[in-house]
Amino acid sequence: MSTAPLLEVCDLQVAFRSGRHALAPAVKGVSFTVPRNRTVALVGESGSGKSVTALAAMGLLAADAAVIAPASRIVFDGVDVLALDAGRRRALCGKDIAMIFQEPMSSLNPVLTVGYQIAEVLVRHLRLRGRAVRERVLALLEEVGIPEPARRIDAYPHELSGGQQQRVMIAMAIACAPRLLIADEPTTALDVTVQKQIMELIKRLQHAHGMAVLFITHDLALVADIADDVIVMRDGVVREAGPARDVLTQPRDPYTRALLQCRPPIDARPLRLPVIADVMEGRAPVTVQRPARTPTGGIVLRADQLSKSFTVRDGWFRKREFPAVSNVSFALERGTTLGVVGESGCGKSTLGLTLMQLHRATGGTVLFDGRDVRQVPLQEFRRRMQIVFQNPYASLNPRFTVEQILLEPMQLHGIGANDAERTRMAQALLEKVGLPRAALQRWPHEFSGGQRQRIAIARCLALQPDVLVCDESVSALDVSVQAQVLNLLLDLQQEYGLSYIFISHDLSVVRYMADHVMVMRRGEVVEQGEAETLYRRPEHPYTQALLAAVPGAAPAG
């Protein structure tokens, strides 16, 4: 067996055309190797160049947009893939090199069954036909842990959960027994339990098939569970590389140390989370712990036996009720944070939308400041209770400037005497969330994800609300940007006395933010209590399982 690396990336330089003649460099002379039968983690924030590196190896960069320097080489088992023509590259990358993409719903064809899409790989590269194709697809679905493969083979992507969709993508990737598997953020936005299952599945398949794995992520906490070696990238260059144990326990580069320190710890609540600039500039981390809040303002929001059901079709003529939230009760004290955690489909987002009256409750009551929300004038309720949605790219109107985005709610609710005063208020809001006043004249697409989320928060603050519902509002952000937004939310809570309902599947984030935690499963509350007590001594087996699945956490219970 050859001892040479399976994949060698040598002086890779990739730039994108940003104008008629201008080039914007994305990868600047990156070199690394992926040994046979080992897992190498490529780590960095969005924009670091890690995904561009993987796409260059797969030949998926658009030729009219990306320019790869002539000196760059990507060598797979002795073959320079950059020198291959399109046909030979396609044959190599479909069979011997496979890739799992970050967002399965965007990668799977919504109008084709999952079985057909897996079969397409087998027909094209292995020339299988007829009954052999279906049998192989069923075997692959069973291997990646899809329940009832004989039934799921004819399902469409939207009929599967996010974790099952990702398992289908893995089945497609391993269909031809590739020697190199590239996994590009395969667990982003998945629940901790599903994330753990996907990580264990990749490890099991690697050992079973003798694959090398290039695992791309922005979360160093995941790396310890899967990688043999780690490469840390920033701004298109490699900042640090070495064995995973050395990089994670004794990082040499300040940027690596910053990535490790930005993630909220599961066992502590410092006053502030460090951000990249803090570590890079040598500022000492804050070690003072945040004391538990002592509420003094009474109950601002109370739910009693709140329920929400949806009507779904069951055949051509029958309908049935599907309970999404069942008999949920809680009390949110003014100036505090209620964390709502659980896996996808547990009802936590439906709960938030029902509280916001964006869904009509089918049972129970909600009291806002002592009044039934159905009796509170909608205009008043909309001003005093706001929501920050999960996706900062979809929640802002792309045809509005930032100024229009911030002024519109003020105009609708009569805040400010005139547009000049409202503009001054909008400028102050931008400064409050850490953006320059000049950002008012820019468009949403000109901002990063973290900056867009700050604009969304500023839009909520424009109405001076009492309660802010944060629905997975940091789940799509890099850990460093996530730390900035969490610090901002705590600062705003301290300054304005805001009350938060913080919905998330990330238990580390909820532990950092919440005073009181409510755990949901299948629409019901299985456990709730003070955050400190619940995290240290979880009583329900489901809560214990969630905590045990957190990367790097000791088993709970």
**435-445 residue pLDDT tens:** 899 899 999 98
- The tens digit of pLDDT for each residue in 395-417 reads 899 999 999 999 999 999 999 88
> Tens of pLDDT along 256-279?
988 888 888 888 888 889 888 888
Cβ neighbours of residue 98 under 8 Å, at least 6 residues apart? Answer: 172, 173, 174, 175, 176, 178, 180, 181, 182
Alpha carbon distance 280, 6 (integer Å): 34
Residue % of the chain over a pLDDT of 90 = 56
Say whether pLDDT at 45 is over 70: yes
If you average pLDDT over residues 80-102, what whole number do you get?
A: 89
- What's the pLDDT score for residue 557? 42
CATH class held by domain 299-548: alpha beta
Residue 235 has pLDDT above 60, yes or no: yes
pLDDT band at residue 554, thresholds of 50, 70 and 90? very low
pLDDT at 286: 78
Instruction: Please classify residue 415 by burial: count the beta carbons closer than 10 Å to its beta carbon, then call 0-12 exposed, 13-18 middle and 19+ buried.
Output: middle
Q: What is the reported pTM? A: 0.83
Q: In the chain, list all ranges with CATH 3.40.50.300.
A: 38-60+85-262, 299-548
How large a percentage of the chain has pLDDT more than 70?
97
Strand pairing report for 229-234 and 73-76: unpaired
Alpha-carbon span 500 to 304, nearest angstrom: 18
Which range is least confidently modeled, 94-103, 116-125, 375-384, 453-462?
94-103
In the block, tokens 């629905």 appear at 471
Residue 329 carries which side chain, given as an amino acid letter?
S
Inter-residue contact 550 to 266 (CB < 8 Å): yes
pLDDT at 351: 95
Q: Is the pLDDT of residue 29 over 60?
A: yes
Let me know if 43 is exposed, middle or buried by CB neighbors in 10 A (0-12, 13-18, 19+). buried
pLDDT of amino acid 312: 72
- How many angstroms separate the CA atoms of 46 and 48, rounded? 6
Note the pLDDT tens digit of each residue in 536-545.
Answer: 999 999 999 8
Confidence bin at 2 (pLDDT 50/70/90): low
pLDDT in tens, 46-59: 888 998 999 999 98
Contact 80, 73 (CB under 8 A): yes
Q: Which of 166-175, 281-290, 340-349, 486-495 has the lowest mean pLDDT?
A: 281-290
CATH code that applies to domain 38-60+85-262: 3.40.50.300
Distance, CA of 519 to CA of 547 (rounded, Å):
11
pLDDT value at residue 556:
43
> What is the overall mean pLDDT for the chain?
89
Instruction: Find residue 73's DSSP bridge partners.
Output: 10
pLDDT at 555: 40
Model confidence at 22, pLDDT cuts 50, 70, 90, reads: confident
Q: What is the pLDDT of residues 125-146, one digit of tens each?
A: 999 998 999 999 999 999 988 8
pLDDT for the residue numbered 434: 85
Distance CA 363, CA 304 (A): 9
Query: According to the model, what pLDDT value does residue 328 have?
Result: 95
Look at residue 266 in the predicted model and tell me its pLDDT: 82
Structure tokens at 22: 């201008």
pLDDT of residue 345: 77
| Residues 385, 353: Cα–Cα separation, whole Å | 11
181 — pLDDT class (breaks 50, 70, 90): very high
For residues 424 and 463, is the Cβ–Cβ distance under 8 A? no
Under a CB-based contact definition with an 8 Å cutoff, are residues 308 and 362 in contact? yes
Quick one: how far is CA 113 from the chain centroid? 26
- pLDDT for 107 equals 84
